[in-house]
Amino acid sequence: MDCIFCNIIQGKIPAQFVYKDEHVVVFHDIHPKARVHVLIVPIKHLDSINAVTSADTNIVGKMFVVAPLIAGQLGVKESGYKLLVNVGEGAGQVVPHMHMHLLGDRKE
Ligand code: AMP
Ligand code: ZN
């Protein structure tokens, strides 16, 4: 299967990584919709939240643990940020590898 986010995770396509652990990676969105726009992406390929099972609890939990860490690192933890997950094409999911957007407007 040719998945753009799997390719990024495997280093076959470049991305600007800001975090990596055993469950998730975080990299900058290529078309940022806010001054801070990164994607929190599980290393395991799951098409969307619809593919998540209880076996993935650690992965999904880690996405939420990492979000405030990255928000702090990128300077939006106190000013505020949004976490957004599109599920399915009808909701605007374009990349069929589950991911969470972290969007914030860092004051500069
Ligand atoms: P979604 O619409 O929720 O599927 O979001 C997919 C996101 O992935 C969009 O915001 C795209 O800008 C972003 N994106 C697509 N290709 C890349 C890439 N090669 N590197 C970084 N972000 C990407
Ligand atoms: Zn994938």
Please report the domains of the chain, with CATH numbers, ordered by start residue. 4-106 (3.30.428.10)
Least confident among 1-5, 13-17, 43-47: 1-5
Tokens of 70: 């990255």
**C-beta separation of 65 from 21 below 8 A:** no
Report the relative pairing of strands 24-28 and 81-84 from DSSP bridges.
unpaired
Ligand 1 mutation pick, 5, 49, 94, 100, max ligand atoms within 8 A of CB: 94
Q: What is the mean pLDDT of the chain?
A: 96
pLDDT digits (tens, 9 = 90+) for 25-71: 999 999 999 999 999 999 999 999 999 999 999 999 999 999 999 99
| Average pLDDT, integer, range 84-94 | 97
Is 97 catalytic? The answer is no
Give 108's Cβ-side CA count (13 Å radius): 6
Kindly identify the ligand whose nearest atom is closest to the C-alpha of 46.
2
Backbone CA torsion sign across 70, 43, 32, 61: negative
**Which residues keep their CB under 5 angstroms from ion ligand 2?**
3, 5-6, 45, 97
